[in-house]
């Protein structure tokens, strides 16, 4: 058997990884920075409950919609070039979002941030695979890359809380500006340029079909959350399904496809993407509900609420770093399944919260949820990227980020809608008669709406609203926990054929075959 050796990375490559951590952490920050600034933002812009959901997840949905196109574009024009172009756009749009005068314009800015962010995410992960061709180093580098994203997500609530206390909600977006400037200075010095060899033309028809497959799905979820299943929902789902089929058929015919859909025939590739998607649905929805609980239900100041998010973030960081090391001695199937079951315990703890004053059980439960997130993000990403040929690294990275962003955004939409339905079902029968529509409507809409009219409510009604919000958290957590248990069992089965890292990483499929031989 011929053993192929690959170049190991040196100090320059590890310094390049530190540069890539800048936009990665920024993107994670933008996912969560609004969670604890939302009450201040709501008081200033007065968005409806539906607009609040759009402000929160328009960013993630548009990232998910454009990642495939941008990942492949980076393979063609250069991953470093696309990273720098996207960074400039992200910085400019962040300034526009900071000074948005209305909820509608803020939603538009968040959507534009999503498109700009779609240029950054696959570029960073694809450049990691370029910097670290050796499998064991790549596994560690991807774990650190996930850790950078986790640090951003963890810092989001704390940064948001600090900025709301000392400035205003728009300052949360201005954090991007110095990070973008630092990236633009250091990237040309430490990051290599990389283009996929012998790539064909950039197929705009495939780009259009990918958008027409994803965006109608997004609309269907949002519309069904607002109005329930109806003709518009069905038509959107039908359009998305038809365009998805056309997209796949076109990719199979093209000599240089936008996405090599044949990668999905690989068991490891498909299983890892599925686990990432479902796992992130639970995390995305519960993350929003937990941060709302700390600030709106437990009535903690933004800075204190942000500090309480620190322990869960630490658990996620430890999982992202430790799981690639554990997978050198324990099969990845067992590592992923075990950490997901610990996550399910966390969801169960959240389902048992009963009183507005309860903080410690919420933080502990969410910490276990984050533990599972760190594990599946680190191992799942390495499995997906390692299964793709180097020329398709950008496309594989884009698919990884697409399912993660789509999972987070779907979690906000689906579990957020479920929690809102439970909130209204419990609160509406308890409302006193005679409340004017200007008070009753915001009260029924959401807990944030209840706080906006709190001065006109009897104290016992606001308490009832908080208890109804807790019921929403319980319902969403119990539903997500049941799904995570099933996901753990699925991971134990579909990943069981993968051996331990053994100090060599997962590697490409060819490397894996050589090691088994």
- What's the mean pLDDT when you consider all of the chain? 78
The tokens for 390 are 């180097």
Percentages (nearest 5) of helix, strand, coil residues in the chain: 80, 0, 20
Q: List pLDDT tens digits, range 345-367.
A: 999 999 999 888 888 999 999 98
Helix residue spans in 293-427 (DSSP H):
302-308, 310-326, 332-351, 360-387, 393-427
Helix (H) or strand (E) holding 287: helix 267-292
User: How many angstroms separate the CA atoms of 124 and 86, rounded?
Assistant: 11
Of 420, 450, 474, 413, which is closest to residue 55 (Cα–Cα)?
413
pLDDT reported for residue 320:
77
pLDDT reported for residue 506:
44
Under 8 Å between Cβ of 300 and 427: no
pLDDT reported for residue 36:
66
| Predicted confidence band of residue 238 (pLDDT cuts 50, 70, 90) | very high
pLDDT reported for residue 222:
63
Higher pLDDT, 225 or 32: 32
User: How many angstroms separate the CA atoms of 422 and 425, rounded?
Assistant: 5
pLDDT above 90: percentage of residues in the chain: 9
pLDDT reported for residue 285:
78
Higher pLDDT, 363 or 37: 363
The tokens for 494 are 């579909």
Where is average pLDDT lowest: 144-158, 304-318, 374-388, 491-505? 491-505
Under 8 Å between Cβ of 174 and 95: yes
- pTM over 0.75? The answer is no
Higher pLDDT, 354 or 374: 354
User: How many angstroms separate the CA atoms of 332 and 384, rounded?
Assistant: 13
Higher pLDDT, 300 or 346: 346
Q: What is the mean pLDDT of residues 137-145?
A: 76
Q: 318: burial class by Cβ within 10 Å (0-12, 13-18, 19+)?
A: middle
Higher pLDDT, 378 or 312: 312
User: How many angstroms separate the CA atoms of 315 and 62, rounded?
Assistant: 29
User: How many angstroms separate the CA atoms of 503 and 329, rounded?
Assistant: 9
User: How many angstroms separate the CA atoms of 476 and 448, rounded?
Assistant: 18
| Predicted confidence band of residue 200 (pLDDT cuts 50, 70, 90) | low
Residue with tokens 């799942």: 380
* CA atoms within 13 A of residue 428's CA, in its CB half-sphere: 10
Q: What is the mean pLDDT of residues 136-142?
A: 74
User: How many angstroms separate the CA atoms of 86 and 117, rounded?
Assistant: 7
Q: List pLDDT tens digits, range 112-125.
A: 998 888 888 778 87
Phi, psi angles (nearest 5°) of residue 391: -65, -25
């Amino acid at each position: 058997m011929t053993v192929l050796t690959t170049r190991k990375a040196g100090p320059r490559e590890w310094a390049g990884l530190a540069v890539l951590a800048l936009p990665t952490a920024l993107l994670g920050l933008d996912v969560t920075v609004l969670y604890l600034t939302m009450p201040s933002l709501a008081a200033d812009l007065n968005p409806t409950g539906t607009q609040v959901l759009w402000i929160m997840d328009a960013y993630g949905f548009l990232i998910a919609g454009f990642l495939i196109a941008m990942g492949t574009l980076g393979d063609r024009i250069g991953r470093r070039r696309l990273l720098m172009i996207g960074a400039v756009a992200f910085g400019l749009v962040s300034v526009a979002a900071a000074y948005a005068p209305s909820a509608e314009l803020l939603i538009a800015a968040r959507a534009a941030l999503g498109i700009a962010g779609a240029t950054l995410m696959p570029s960073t992960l694809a450049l990691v695979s370029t910097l670290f061709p050796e499998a064991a180093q790549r596994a560690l580098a991807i774990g650190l890359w996930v850790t950078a994203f986790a640090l951003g997500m963890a810092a989001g609530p704390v940064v948001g809380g600090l900025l709301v206390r000392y400035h205003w909600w728009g300052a949360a977006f201005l954090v991007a500006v110095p990070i973008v400037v630092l990236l633009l200075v250091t990237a040309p010095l430490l990051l290599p340029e990389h283009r996929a060899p012998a790539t064909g033309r950039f197929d705009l028809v495939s780009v259009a079909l990918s958008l027409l497959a994803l965006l109608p799905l997004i609309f269907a979820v949002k519309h069904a959350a607002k109005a329930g299943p109806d003709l518009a929902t069905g038509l959107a789902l039908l359009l998305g399904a038809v365009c998805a089929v056309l997209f796949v058929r076109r990719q199979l015919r093209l000599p240089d496809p936008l996405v090599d859909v044949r990668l999905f025939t690989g068991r490891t590739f498909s299983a890892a993407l599925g686990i990432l998607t479902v796992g992130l649905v639970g995390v995305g929805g519960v993350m929003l509900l937990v941060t709302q609980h700390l600030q709106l239900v437990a009535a903690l100041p933004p800075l204190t609420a942000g500090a309480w998010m620190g322990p869960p973030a630490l658990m996620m960081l430890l999982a992202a770093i430790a799981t690639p090391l554990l997978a050198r001695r324990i099969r990845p199937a067992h590592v992923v399944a075990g950490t997901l079951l610990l996550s399910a315990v966390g969801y169960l703890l959240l389902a048992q919260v009963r009183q507005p004053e309860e903080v410690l059980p919420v933080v502990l439960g969410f910490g276990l949820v984050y533990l599972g997130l760190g594990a599946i993000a680190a191992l799942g990403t390495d499995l997906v990227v390692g299964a793709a040929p180097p020329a398709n690294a950008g496309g594989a990275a884009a698919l990884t980020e697409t399912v993660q962003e789509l999972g987070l955004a779907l979690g906000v939409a689906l579990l957020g809608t479920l929690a809102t339905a439970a909130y209204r079902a419990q609160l509406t029968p308890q409302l006193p008669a005679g409340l004017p529509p200007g008070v009753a409507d915001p009260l029924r809409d959401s807990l944030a709406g209840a706080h906006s009219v709190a001065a006109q409510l009897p104290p016992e009604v606001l308490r009832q609203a908080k208890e109804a919000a807790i019921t929403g958290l319980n319902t969403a957590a119990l539903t997500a926990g049941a799904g995570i248990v099933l996901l753990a069992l699925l991971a134990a089965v579909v990943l069981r054929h993968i051996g331990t890292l053994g100090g060599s990483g997962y590697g490409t499929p060819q490397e894996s075959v050589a090691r088994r031989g």
